Amino acid sequence: MSALVVEQLLNGLQFGIMLFLLAAGLTLVFGIMGVINLAHGSLFMVGAYAAALVAQASGHWWLGLLAGLAAAAATGMVVEVAVLRRLYARDHLDQVLATFGLILFFNQGITMLFGRQPLLVQLPPGFAGSIEIMPGLPYPSFRLLIIAVGLLVALGLYWLIQHTRIGMLVRAGATHRDMVRALGVDIRALYTVVFGLGALLAGLAGVMAGPVSNVQVGMGEQILILTFVVVVIGGIGSVRGALFGALLVGVTQTLLSGFVPGWLRQVMAGSEADALGAALSSMGVYVLMAVVLLVKPRGLFPAHA
Amino acid sequence: MRNALPLAVLLAGAIALPWAAEALGQPATIGLATRILCLGIAAASLNLILGHGGMVSFGHALYYGLGAYTVGILWEHFRLGEPIFGVIPGSNELLVTLPIAMLVAGVAAAVIGALSLRTSGVQFIMITLAFAQMGFFLFVGLKAYGGDDGLLVRRRNLVPGLDLRQPDQLYWLCLGFLVAWLFLQWRIVGSRFGRVLEGIRQNERRMAAIGIATYRYKLAGFVIAGMGCGLAGALTANELRFVSPDLMAWQKSGEIMVMVILGGVGTLLGPVVGAAALVGMEYVLGGITENWQFFLGPILLAVVLWAPGGIMGLLGRGARRG
């Protein structure tokens, strides 16, 4: 395999991991509480902003990481207690409208506080360079860090969900919600904890995304739609599905945008090929999702029997 | 028809609006009101499948954009004098562009609906969104029609006997289409077909059990709604004299859905009231502060939490939901 293909595969893996961090929280909230939370992207943005600002002010990237995680988790839990808790019994329509309102609120709030100018984030010390992973192929070590952290999170989530009491309740809640409630479990507290966990992961994704892309208002919505694609492809409520779907979407998207414009350039003019190639590769994941849903309407790994 | 009198008053007020705007020295209001009428048609068409058929389409702006682009592309080829694919001549006649816009939107809705309606629930929401996103990125990539810069329509379409360059004449035309569309939809909802849709919303399994092929009814509703939204888009292209992929972005789909819920799901006038409320709030709050979205968000939240029937529900005219 050529170095270019390996590099694009790694980029796809890194993007997929980022999507997984967002999709894991979203799919749990979807699967257990039955809530469509459009504001999940706002938590991603809150994490990125808190990390960038604290890192700038203190000069320590790792302090920024802690701040980003704490801010996202706290915001998520406040939102759950103040707003989403009232929406669990409502239909999807009300949830979409309410969380759409939350997006407007968060985006404009951040704009008012910090302006429209994107924030630049430094790479953490020790991860500013690149590592030669193959002869002739240096790869940024920060992106490798993202991949490693994401895989660790996936392992941690697997352990949490398969081998702890909270995880048992989460699994039970995803398939037999009413039975769990009937057995006397404090479902409200469980919901808040799960939502906080999802927000924490969204915040982690935001912190990690900071140095790779710009920290700016609207960054949450750009990635949110793709996250929904991941959740639906993987099967709502399934963390395993979220991991598989995220890697599939991440790699597909990256490979398409890496190679389609080049192929098109061989048959048409340069600028037109680039525009059409970008469009076709953006469409790719949606075609993938439509095909998956048509073949398996409940996603690849449906959590509900 | 116990509602006949208020409706007549409302219609008279809407007809008189351009004169009132001129008299008050606020001619810019006419353009704003025209935009509300166009979005009102779009929201009403979504309400047909969402409010009466229980199909939550999160990609309805696709048909809005397709309708608008039909007008834009026909204009572009009319301007250049080159037929599309060398066969179909361009046009600037509204009586030609409007039916074609509805046809294009209807065909797209038929294909997308036929595939999407195999799913339901959250999956249906997401698959309609996915198709709309495909359309959005397709038009972003079509450099021949402006890509993401969009396409200018230098002159509004021609209609025999009307001069659409006059804002008030365009307004009355859009008002006429809105009234016609609402009348059509009122007849549809009251018909046997409409009752079947309503039954499917309440319990699809029971409708299937009494021997109704629910898929066909849902698909027919989906196509009618797509055509209505195509009409709205074609009128919008004339109002704005500009089309761009933003017209079919997911935010637009969200906005149209917000209008339906804000006004009142499953009511005849609710979506139009919702469109007026949302555009009006944008205008009023936008005049007070540039951070109007910061206040609009919590207002939407409050509507969901404390006024589930939307504005029509507050007015005591909400639909009785089963």
Listing DSSP states for A33-100 in one string gives: I----TTHHHHHHHHHHHHHHHHHHHS-HHHHHHHHHHHHHHHHHHHHHHTGGGGTTS-HHHHHHHHH
Residue A131 pLDDT > 90, yes or no?
no
Domain containing residue A255: CATH number: 1.10.3470
CB A210 within 8 A of CB A52: yes
Q: State how many domains chain A has.
A: 1
**What is the DSSP annotation of A123-184?**
PPTT-SSEEEEETTEEEEHHHHHHHHHHHHHHHHHHHHHHHSHHHHHHHHHHH-HHHHHHTT
Query: Least CA distance to B303: which residue of chain A?
Result: A98
From residue B80, how far is each of A135, B83, B90, B91, B152 by CA, in Å?
Answer: 54, 9, 9, 11, 13
* The pLDDT of residue B320: 47
- Using an 8 Å CB-CB cutoff, list chain A residues near B294: 104-105, 108-109, 112
Chain B residues whose beta carbon lies within 8 Å of the beta carbon of residue A277: 141
Give a yes or no: residue A301 inside a domain: no
Chain A CB contacts of B58 below 8 Å: 96
B216 pLDDT band (50/70/90 cuts)? very high
Q: Tell me the three-class secondary structure of A91-108, residue by residue.
A: CHHHHHHHHHHHHHHHHH
Give CA–CA dist B28/B32, Å, rounded.
Answer: 7
Query: Which of B196, B258, B180 lies closest to B53 in space, CA to CA?
Result: B196
Q: So what's the pLDDT on residue B283?
A: 86
What mean pLDDT is predicted for residues A120-126? 79
Cβ atoms B165, B282 nearer than 8 A: no
Is the complex ipTM more than 0.85?
Answer: no
Angle among Cα B252, A116, A49 to the nearest 5 degrees reads: 100
Determine which of A106-120, B217-231, B241-255 has the lowest per-residue pLDDT on average.
Answer: A106-120
Q: Pairing state of beta strands A130-134 and B242-243? A: unpaired
Q: Which residue segment(s) compose the domain that A175 sits in?
A: 3-295
Nearest-CA distance B202 → chain A (Å): 13
Residue A305: inside a domain: no
To the nearest whole Å, the CA of B6 is away from the closest chain A CA by 29
Name the residue of chain B whose CA is nearest to A288's CA. Answer: B130
Q: Residue B322 — pLDDT band, cuts 50, 70, 90?
A: very low
Ramachandran quadrant class, A162 (left: phi over 0; alpha: psi -120 to 50; beta: rest): alpha
In a domain? residue A204: yes
DSSP code at position B243:
E
- Which residue ranges make up each domain of chain B? 28-249
- Mean pLDDT value of segment A113-129: 80
E strands along B27-154, which residues?
A: 151-152
Mean pLDDT, residues A96-121 taken together: 86
In a domain, residue A102? The reply is yes
Q: Kindly list the distances between the CA atom of residue A152 and the CA atoms of A21, A115, A212, in Å, as whole numbers in the listed order.
A: 11, 35, 20
Interchain contact, B294 vs A109, CB within 8 Å:
yes
| E-state strands within B157-290 | 242-243
A251 in any annotated domain: yes
The three-point CA angle A287-A45-B134 to 5° equals 15
